[in-house]
Amino acid sequence: MMAKLGDMTPVVNLTRGKGTGPVRVRRPLYMDLMPPCNNACPAGENIQAWLELAQAGKYRAAWETLVRDNPMPAVHGRVCYHPCEGACNRGELDATVSIHAVERFLGDLAAKEDWPFRMEMPPTGKRVLVIGAGPAGLSASYHLARLGHTVEIREAGPLPGGMMHFGIPAYRLPRADLMREIARIEAMGVSILLNHKVENLLAEKSEGSFDAVFIAIGAGVGKHVDIPARDAVRVLDAVSLLRDVKAGEPPRLGRRVVVYGAGNTAMDAARTVRRLGADEALIVYRRDRAHMPAHAFEADEAIEEGVRIKWLTSIKEISRSDLTVEIMELDASGRPQPTGRYETLQADAIVLALGQETESGFLRALPDIEVATDGGVSVRHDMMTGHPGVFAGGDMVAGERTVTVSVGHGKRAARHIDAWLRGERWQPAIKHPLVSFGMLHLPVYSDADPAAQRTLSLAERVSGFEEVVAGLSEMEARREAHRCLSCGNCFECDTCYAACPEDAIVKLGPGRRYRYDYAKCTGCAVCFEQCPCHAIEMIAEPV
């Protein structure tokens, strides 16, 4: 019998005596459960399904399965913070599956082979206006086009991509890879009108004969904070810094630069400052590392590149190149409290990375759309604003601000818009129960270490904006996909078939799984105990 990990309670007393022999009181049943990777993906990808196809070398089928939910795998394989990997059950065994690296491999392969998107539905004759060509707008446009609707994006900036283009540094996302995936969306018939800032939403909706609108203008305005300043050094916000660098107009910052804030944008700004030639890049943050908004690996990479971080410190005053900062202490709830102790720091420039706001003033002319003080817009569960037929999503609505969350918003909004245009309501499918690590029946050994993505040396990193992390080779990507445990879903490993002492399991052929011959089954549960992925459950015998 295969040894197993976890705290599964053995199934006992499956039969009871009656007459001349035992009578089965529980029977096995094949079932599907929700793998934690799928459950954690903000874009709603069927990760387990495309990993299974990738490990079989069916790369185009894997990519097509992936892009049913997410049209930009080459982008996401580079910039997503991969919460799927944080949830991966394999992390309890040895190391999580490097899902993002396999996704990037598929996205890059699709670009190399020039695979087109497939259309799902015939033309509907309906027209949808999308405002903003960032991740939410592009995702909504893609899904609406697949559903048969005509889509036009109107973008205020000179290039599509939103913060993917102007906010994420090139060392994380080369622009050629981004533009290839956007071009594939355009090839579906989605038109993108650049340098067009929408000022009167209802007028543009009417003049363009649009049946619905999706607003996805993001949060591209850096927040400012009132700090007393006398003859201050140069102060700029992180969003403007990153945008200017991308536009080829990097500001002159000097030798010593302080970045105020510790979110992911702050880490990008500090790493960018190092690449612009600053000898010292110091992040100042009023809380500690455990409470920083940035993901841990972002801070680790910044520190590797020579960025210093001064925790529990708040800027109080700026006078020329002198920064007066106050030392903070955390109270029992983790909130920073002033101590009355001060220090003086030196800086040639200060970059504020204190969050972003949405430039949505044009929506205030519509009284039925609720606009917050930071420009954010309120939406209902179906992502519609208070104005009928006007939907919104991405960074401009409440929630976590990441590329993947925005792409998920775009997909969900497209489903609701499509239903609204058809006079219907869309309801997402009910999810299967989640499968945990403790439910798996695994061998006690592991012989598959994760594939490591190669990186530039530290000297190469800070000398320019070349991509830091390389992709996997075909062999590495396929091997990495093989590490998936297929949690909760049968992958036809034949373990149950081989273990059954009664020959009660019938193979149905490749891709069709198995069935039980209950005339032979005694309910002994050997198949259940041997199934490594918990695709079998023992249920009470029908009365």
Per residue in 395-429, pLDDT (tens digit) is 999 888 899 999 999 999 999 999 999 999 999 88
- SS3 state at 59: helix
Distance (Å, whole) CA 502 – CA 500:
6
- Backbone dihedral angles phi then psi of residue 341, each to the nearest 5 degrees: -100, 135
Rg (CA), the chain: 27
Instruction: Output 451 or 103, whichever has higher pLDDT.
Output: 103
CATH class entry, domain 40-115+445-480: mainly alpha
- Report whether 71 contacts 185 (CB < 8 A): yes
Please compute the mean of the pLDDT values over residues 516-524 and round it to a whole number. Answer: 93
Closest residue by Cα to residue 223 from 357, 399, 314: 357
Structure tokens at 445: 């050994």
Question: What are the structure tokens assigned to 136, written together?
Answer: 């939410």
Would you identify the CATH topology of the domain 15-32+490-540? Alpha-Beta Plaits (3.30.70)
| pTM of the predicted model as reported, rounded to 2 decimal places | 0.90
Sign of the alpha-carbon dihedral angle for 470, 486, 62, 117: negative
How far apart are the C-alpha atoms of 276 and 462, rounded to whole Å? 8
Strands, E assignment, 446-540: 505-507, 514-516, 536-540
What is the tens place of the pLDDT at every residue in 90-128?
999 889 999 999 999 999 999 999 999 988 899 999 999
- Provide the CA 96 distance to its chain's centre, in angstroms: 16
Which top CATH class is 223-355?
A: alpha beta
322: part of which helix (H) or strand (E)?
strand 322-330
CATH 3.50.50.60 range(s) for the chain read: 127-220+358-421, 223-355
Highest mean pLDDT among 45-54, 291-300, 456-465: 45-54
CATH label, 127-220+358-421, candidates 3.40.190.120, 3.90.700.10, 3.50.50.60, 3.40.640.10: 3.50.50.60
**Confidence class for position 10, pLDDT limits 50, 70, 90:** very low
Dihedral pair phi/psi, residue 113, rounded to 5°: -90, -5
DSSP 247: T
The residues pairing with 152 across neighbouring beta strands, listed in sequence order, are 129, 191
Query: Percentage of the chain surpassing pLDDT 70?
Result: 95
Segments of the chain assigned to CATH 3.30.70.20: 15-32+490-540
CB 286 within 8 A of CB 260: no
CATH 1.10.1060.10 location in the chain: 40-115+445-480
